[in-house]
Amino acid sequence: MEVRVPASTANLGAGFDCFGLALDLHLVVRATVLPAASSERSRVRSLGEPGSANLPRTAESNLIFHAMRLAAERQGTLLPPMRLAVHNAIPLASGLGSSAAAIVAGIVLGFAAGGKKDFWAEDVPAALAYATEIEGHADNVGAALVGGLAVTLTRGDGTVAGVRKNWPEEIRAVAVTPNFTLATSKARAALPASVSRADAVTNLQRSAMLVAALDARRYDLIWDAMQDRLHQPYRQNLIPGLAEILQLPRMPGLLGVALSGAGPTAVAFATEGFDAIGKAMVSCFARRGLNAVVRNLAISEQGAVVTTGRWHGRGKR
């Protein structure tokens, strides 16, 4: 069985821990169940973006296997020994949802271990809950799971809800990733424990406006709707060049700019002028001594998809 999961960008400026958007850049995982008589242990082989080959190879420590086990156990299923072959096109620790994609891939495979031939809409709430439990927040995993724009919330009891919205086809993402790593834990630690009412209201207005502007095709409002006061002002000092990117002037086709998740990738949304926008963002990093990779990406309207093959687990406990 093979599952294909998109990358994602989270927050989109003002929508901190609310918005996740799936990107046309993918993690592909092929799972092969080992013969029942085999003494071979489960293992994983990873290729792709730098660092992928160094990811944990054993079932005990690999994130995909961990997600598979959790989903299978919650579904009351025994997880058979297997080999995983992983091809990862998502840069690691970059703010483009590499861990979310790995978790979602494992969750979908874990459901398949129970004999599900396909992943259906009725499976999504449970899958979102399992993935959020592992990831700690729902924005990236929501987008990786269902595609498009995922709007999520966490209730007071810890349960999660999400709604998928279509994204305008003409708006693409220009994702610029510097050769710089930033741990999500460090980016989280930079945030204040409380914020002012004015800052909270500012972000509430803008996150609501972003959804409304996209629905109404009022692209002239996206620039204002992506302005943020809750996380980017505190994180920009951790990423050389980010402050300059967030202050880029209007350019033809450019609708808005934001930090992608916890970073260090910066992402711009545009309808044209993608090359010029990418070059302007790269130059901001270059002035601070950082090289950067530009990815001009469409939005993935599909989330996790089983692309080839079928396999069945060994039955219920």
Residues 77 and 196 in one domain: no
Query: Which pLDDT tens digit goes with each residue over 58-84?
Result: 777 899 999 999 998 988 888 888 889
Distance CA 292, CA 178 (A): 4
Distance CA 223, CA 257 (A): 8
Pairing outcome for strands 82-88 and 43-48: parallel
Residues 119 and 189 in one domain: no
Residues 103 and 196 in one domain: no
User: For residue 84, what is the domain's CATH number?
Assistant: 3.30.230.10
| Residue-range definition of the domain harbouring residue 79 | 2-166+300-307
Q: Which two tokens stand for residue 259?
A: 């930090």
Q: From the centroid of its chain, how far is CA 87?
A: 16
Q: Which two tokens stand for residue 261?
A: 């998740």
Residue 40 lies in a domain: yes
Cβ atoms of 255 and 207 closer than 8 Å:
no
Residue 317 lies in a domain: no
Residues 151 and 200 in one domain: no
Note down pLDDT in tens along the chain; length 317 residues: 899 999 999 999 999 999 999 999 999 999 988 877 666 777 888 888 887 777 777 777 899 999 999 998 988 888 888 889 999 999 998 999 999 999 999 999 988 876 665 656 678 899 999 999 999 999 999 999 999 999 999 999 989 999 999 999 999 999 999 998 888 888 889 999 999 999 999 999 999 999 999 999 999 999 999 999 999 999 999 999 999 999 999 999 999 999 999 999 999 999 999 999 999 999 999 999 999 999 999 999 999 998 765 544 333 33
- Domain tally, the chain: 2
User: For residue 268, what is the domain's CATH number?
Assistant: 3.30.70.890
Distance CA 48, CA 132 (A): 25
Rounded to two decimals, what is the model's pTM?
0.92
Residues 293 and 208 in one domain: yes
Number of Cβ atoms within 10 Å of the Cβ of 215? 11
Burial of 244 by CB count in 10 Å (0-12 exposed, 13-18 middle, 19+ buried)? middle
Residue 312 lies in a domain: no
Distance CA 74, CA 130 (A): 9
Nearest to 279 by CA among 302, 263, 264, 296: 296
